[in-house]
Amino acid sequence: MTTANTMHPFDEAIQLTPQGDHYRGQTSAKYANMVGPFGGVTAATLLRAVMDHPKCQGEPLALTVNFAAPVADGAFDLVPKLIRTNRSTQHWSMELLQNDQIAATATALFATRRETWSATEAQFPDLSNLGEGVAMPATGLPVWVNRYDVRTLRGHLGLSATAQETASDTVTQQWIRDEPPRVMDFCSLTAIADAFFPRIFIKRKQAVPAGTVSLTVYFHADAATLTAHGTQPVLGYARANRFYNNYFDQIAELWTPDGALLATTTQVVYYKE
Amino acid sequence: MTTANTMHPFDEAIQLTPQGDHYRGQTSAKYANMVGPFGGVTAATLLRAVMDHPKCQGEPLALTVNFAAPVADGAFDLVPKLIRTNRSTQHWSMELLQNDQIAATATALFATRRETWSATEAQFPDLSNLGEGVAMPATGLPVWVNRYDVRTLRGHLGLSATAQETASDTVTQQWIRDEPPRVMDFCSLTAIADAFFPRIFIKRKQAVPAGTVSLTVYFHADAATLTAHGTQPVLGYARANRFYNNYFDQIAELWTPDGALLATTTQVVYYKE
């Protein structure tokens, strides 16, 4: 048995090979989207390029990824640039290149935390009367969806070819974990932050053309907390604020079952109709 | 009378001079913070550098600014880099340099919108029983605060040297406009997105050391809407999600009085105690 055979598909997908001052990655068919790879894995790979870098200090605090062009199936290059190292923070910029063209840019902020007064203001979502949730259908969806165990409590993907009415809101609440189970880390948390369907699918009950153009993730936990969380699912809570002439935003929280807010995330999404 | 004499202080503060492939700016004493300039004006200036660029297409859609080091009073250089122009979007990266050191990085996404199905899901904040609001005190605060007319409806800055108890929440609702009045545009909206006090001041009723390290603004309106909004105040609604070991996030919405959501914004803020 080789290491490759026992590797989790997510670890395979975000695997990088150092190439002098940059890294070489490869899209994974197991995380294919309708066109190219699932953007959450692309974002995770950009973060990974910094975490693998010998000059990296601290743990991820904030990540913004801008999807400038479709990533084609195949190899890509990641170029991390160390902007500045301060006493407790470190700033990075990254570019993802294919055929010498930039397909994505990103910035990341890393930090070394010290223990301080702490408090959570956001409320763990009310799950009463929502039951155990509905499993995501295995067919008719992009391949990457099968890499997650999703149980939707509210705001499931109910597409209709003849939808005339919009949904009353865009809220989704779902339990989600890697499939097969995998111990949580910053990379998998990043991918899960992008694993909500575009809110316009929920609102309009139709799969109109849509794609994330910019994604920001704030991490509210340290590596030890994520390791302790282990393979448990996280509760995702997502909703939109405004749909306006080709673009909408969506915002989400990711919680542990016992009420620790691991990450908040926001993204702006293109839509066509 | 010269143009300079009639220029609004905000326009003075974000004024840029082309220097070949980059721009030269100058911090404004009228927008001074406790140390260096108000970060909202720095963010606005970074956006301005792209908007002034001869290759700029479309209007601002998303902006992320990472504050890597304090900006010193005086001159600075802004270097915008055009990443990619697509049919309806354009991606930019920017750096702010002082003494050949990067003090801030940013990414911006510009878009040309077409008319589509649109809807606002977020609710205009409930202002009932909040009255006309309380004017911001003119003394004891950084200079930049005087460049805004702020009327706080809820969650005012009530600092106490002896605060023992924390506030029940971190919500602030405030009417805010430029002082003197100035017709809204993307740059002033960007600065206003950063014009909320750090939520930890509200929560702990103390001014602990704190500073924004990363700011993201999503624009949900076009230039014509901002011009039509004119010099009216916007309603700002801000709150925090989690304070955890040196860093917290804050999230805010900016609304017109008649209920149009102009922007949503999120930031991650360092705090010390």
Burial of B47 (0-12, 13-18, 19+ CB in 10 A): buried
**Tell me, what's the pLDDT at B4?**
56
Residues from chain B contacting residue A203 (CB–CB below 8 Å): 119, 121
Cβ–Cβ below 8 Å for B203 and A116: no
Ramachandran region, residue A220 (left: φ > 0; alpha: ψ -120 to 50; beta: rest): alpha
Q: Check if A121 contacts B (Cβ < 8 Å).
A: yes
Please check whether residue A264 touches B, CB under 8 A: yes
For chain B, what percentages of helix, strand and coil (3-state, to nearest 5) are there?
20, 40, 40
Q: Note the pLDDT of residue A132.
A: 87
Band (B5; pLDDT cuts 50, 70, 90)? low
How confident is the model over A200-250, as pLDDT tens digits?
A: 999 999 989 999 999 999 999 999 999 999 999 999 999 999 999 999 999
Closest residue in A to B242 (Cα) is: A120
When CB atoms are compared, the residue of B105, B114, B241 closest to A107 is: B105
Q: Where are the beta strands (DSSP E) in chain A?
A: 17-19, 22-26, 59-67, 75-85, 89-98, 101-111, 119-120, 134-135, 148-154, 172-178, 210-219, 234-244, 247-255, 261-271
Mean pLDDT across the stretch B38-54? 98
The CA distance from B36 to the nearest CA of chain A, in Å, is 17
- The residue among B244, B234, B130 whose CA lies nearest residue B192 is B234
Taking an 8 Å cut-off on Cβ atoms, the answer to whether A244 and B273 are in contact is no
Tell me what the mean pLDDT of segment B198-226 comes to. Answer: 96
Domains and CATH numbers, chain B: 3-113+130-271 (2.40.160.210)
Instruction: Report pLDDT digits (tens) over A132-144.
Output: 898 987 788 999 9
Q: What is the mean pLDDT of chain B?
A: 95
| A167 and chain B in contact, CB less than 8 A | no
pLDDT exceeds cutoff 70 at B269: yes
Distance CA B153, CA B132 (A): 7
pLDDT (average), residues A160-175: 88
Cβ of A64 within 8 Å of Cβ of B91? The answer is no
Residue predicted with more confidence, A273 or B113: B113
Give the one of A105, A111, A261 whose C-beta lies nearest to B247's C-beta: A111
Dump pLDDT digits (tens) for A81-100: 999 999 999 999 999 999 99
Q: Strands B89-98 and A59-67, how do they pair?
A: unpaired
**Cα of A138 to nearest chain B Cα, Å:** 30
The pLDDT value given to residue A3: 56
Lowest mean pLDDT among A124-138, A141-155, A185-199, A254-268: A124-138
Model ipTM value:
0.96
Tell me, what's the pLDDT at B1? 44
CA A32 to centroid of chain Cα atoms = 14
* Confidence bin at A163 (pLDDT 50/70/90): low
Q: What is the three-class DSSP state of A163?
A: coil
Q: Do A109 and B266 touch (CB under 8 A)?
A: no
What pLDDT is attached to residue A4?
A: 56
